[in-house]
Amino acid sequence: MKKYEQFIAKEDIELIHENTIRILENVGVKFEHEEALEIFRKHGMRVEGDVVYMGEKDVRAALSTVPETFTLYSGRGTVEVGGGSMVKLPVGCPAFIEDRGNIRKILNKDIIDLFKLIDTSPLLDCNHVNFFTESEGFSDDVKRYSYLALLMKYSNKPFPFAIPDTSAEKGSLREAMAGGIRLMKRFEGVEDKCLASVGINPLSPLCYDHAPIERIIGTCSENQGIWLASCVMPVLTAPPSVASILTMVNAEILAGFVFTQLLKPGTPMIYANVSGSTDLRTIQLSMGNPEAALMIYGTAALADYYRVPFRAGGAISDAKDLDFQAGMESMMMAEATVEAKPDMILHSTGCLGTYNIVSFEKMLMDEEIFAYAERIHRGIDVTEKKICFKDIEKTGPRGNFLSGRTPKMYREEFYLTQYLNKADANDWQNKGRVGLKENAGQKVQERIEAYQAPEITKEQEELLKPYLPEDYRDQI
């Protein structure tokens, strides 16, 4: 039995699939792009205005060409996606930072420090950091590609989910996307490998507007991967139940799968539903809710049904500070994530304020949260060796098992926290009552100072110079 079946049964998934096809056949999905509409017409699908209708056969044909697993190549280490790979990335592009009790706009210096924290993380598999927010005086190429160039020059980890900054793109979006991928290919010295998986967001409900379609076309032109992620708000951009959200979002994502596979059969793809709840008192997206955890299990079930890789979860919280709420919500979400085993996990560390705020101290705490959750799910290893009968026999009644060095078995069996307070209460008080956040803040600085840049070739240096901000061309 799969872990998700504690929360959603196989017959439930069948019902969701049947109703997904009803939506695709009878309601349709908008594609606000004439070239995309022409591709659908060419393949015999019904198109009325900019609404496309498709059926079971179209969906199954598309899914048949999506790889169940794929490899993202990098000179910093290849990334395998699929089969429960649990590739972990940090909080994605937060606009704000929690800084000693204040929430403020994230600045370029913060972005560099965040980059270093990610790069030195023992938990995270890939680097993924913000676009620069202070870009006055940047050339168009620096605005567009500085994010990629920063990762290529300074990251010790692979960065296959990085993309150009096209938020203010005045030219061709598809060319900007393709240009970023070509830059990565030149840096890596390869032409025929999959280096990147590009994130695309539908416009819920049931729409792909012009910009994401352009990004899909540009990415596919360079034979790279795509991940499609919907994040809806119940009662606003989605119906008011978990089942209806899973069904409608499924239609959105599968429509995107169909388009991408018609455009470039065999394109590696990741299925992602990162929806949560809506707090109708404040009209805010809420991700630290039980229903957001249930979405993880539902997404795992649907991806398993279609036999495609999926993204879900993370240590996500709606809290605005590193407080009890942040810990409670993040542990709940991380526990569901580890149990569901997504192939890709964005927002694994540092996330506050429903994706919008980063906390450096929380980056470290979330590493602990995932370590706790993973230790629990490793379970109890019951073997003759681990029962330790000879030790018990030797020590006997009222004996003591403490002798010599710390046993290797103890180190293997018991997780030793790096940051949490396990000290004697009086001892802790006598040493100044250093709190969790203060302690983590000290460790943050140690981590940032421990960062060391990788070595790159002279040719790679020259390639990246035109795309790096002047302040970061030689060092960070």
- pLDDT at residue 168 tops 90: no
Q: 345 near 125, Cβ under 8 Å? A: no
Who contacts 438 (Cβ-Cβ below 8 Å, separation ≥6)? Answer: none
Pair 70, 82: CB distance under 8 Å: yes
Tell which residue, 153, 159, 1, has the closest CA to residue 77. 159
pLDDT tens digits along 193-240: 999 999 999 999 999 999 999 999 999 999 999 999 999 999 999 999
> What's the count of helices (H) and strands (E) in the chain, helices before strands?
17, 18
pLDDT tens digits, residue range 429-468? 999 999 999 999 999 999 999 999 999 999 999 999 999 9
Asked if residue 420 has pLDDT above 80, the reply is: yes
Whether 403 has a pLDDT exceeding 90, the answer reads: no
Q: Which of 206, 260, 196 is nearest to 23 (CA)?
A: 206
Dihedral angle, C-alpha 298, 22, 40, 216, nearest 10 °: -20
Could you give phi then psi for residue 416, rounded to 5 degrees?
Answer: -105, 110
Torsion sign, CA atoms 157, 362, 309, 40: negative
The alpha carbon of 78 is separated from its chain's Cα centroid by a whole number of angstroms, namely 17
Average pLDDT for residues 323-340, to the nearest whole number?
A: 98
Can you read off the two tokens belonging to residue 115? Answer: 């980059």
Phi first, then psi: what are they for 351, rounded to 5°?
-85, 120
% of residues, the chain, pLDDT over 90 = 96
Cα 226 from chain centroid (whole Å): 13
- Residue 216 contacts residue 200 (beta carbons within 8 Å): yes
Whether the bond between 90 and the residue before it is cis, its omega within 30 degrees of 0, is: no
pLDDT of 169 > 90? The answer is: no
15-19, 24-28, 157-161, 267-271: least confidently modelled range: 157-161
pLDDT confidence bin for 177, thresholds 50/70/90: very high
98 in helix, strand or coil? strand
What is the per-residue pLDDT for 166? Answer: 85
Res 83: pLDDT? 97
Which ranges of 264-359 would DSSP assign to H, the alpha helix?
Answer: 290-306, 324-340
pTM beyond 0.85, yes or no: yes
Residue type, 286: S
Buried b (16+ CB within 10 A) or exposed e, 85-109: bbbbbbbbbbebbbeeeeeeebebe
Q: Which of 249, 310, 378 is nearest to 83 (CA)?
A: 310
CB-facing half-sphere around the CA of 143: CA atoms within 13 A: 14
CB-hemisphere CA count at 13 Å for 131? Answer: 14
Asked whether residue 171 carries a pLDDT value surpassing 90, the answer given is no
Give me the chain's average pLDDT, please. 97
Measured from the Cβ of residue 421, the count of other Cβ atoms closer than 10 Å reads 12
End-to-end CA distance of the chain: 49
- Give the number of other Cβ atoms within 10 Å of residue 41's Cβ: 12
Cα angle: 273, vertex 205, 250; to 5 degrees: 40
Q: Domains of the chain by range and CATH?
A: 1-475 (3.20.20.480)
CB-count exposure of residue 305 (10 Å: 0-12, 13-18, 19+): middle
Region 319-326: what's the mean pLDDT? 97
User: Is there a contact between 314 and 338 (Cβ–Cβ < 8 Å)?
Assistant: no
Assigned token pair, 301: 């079930």
What one-letter code names the amino acid at 407? P
85 or 128, higher pLDDT: 85
Helices (H), 71-172: 108-119, 140-154
Angle at the Cα of 226 from the Cα atoms of 221 and 227, rounded to 5 degrees: 165
Q: Are 89 and 312 in contact (CB under 8 A)?
A: no
d(CA 229, CA 226): 10
Provide the pLDDT for residue 200: 97
Contact 219, 178 (CB under 8 A): yes
Q: Does a cis peptide bond (omega within 30 degrees of 0) precede residue 205?
A: yes
Structure confidence at residue 27 as a pLDDT band (50, 70, 90): very high
pLDDT tens profile 343-378: 999 999 999 999 999 999 999 999 999 999 999 999
Cβ–Cβ < 8 Å for 57, 28: no
- The whole-number average pLDDT for the span 76-92 is 97
pLDDT digits over 271-281, tens only?
999 999 999 99
252: tokens are: 């959105």
pLDDT for 238 equals 97
pLDDT of the residue at 167? 78
Report d(CA 295, CA 276) in Å as an integer. Answer: 7
pLDDT band, very low/low/confident/very high, at 404 (cuts 50, 70, 90) = confident
pLDDT number for residue 264: 98
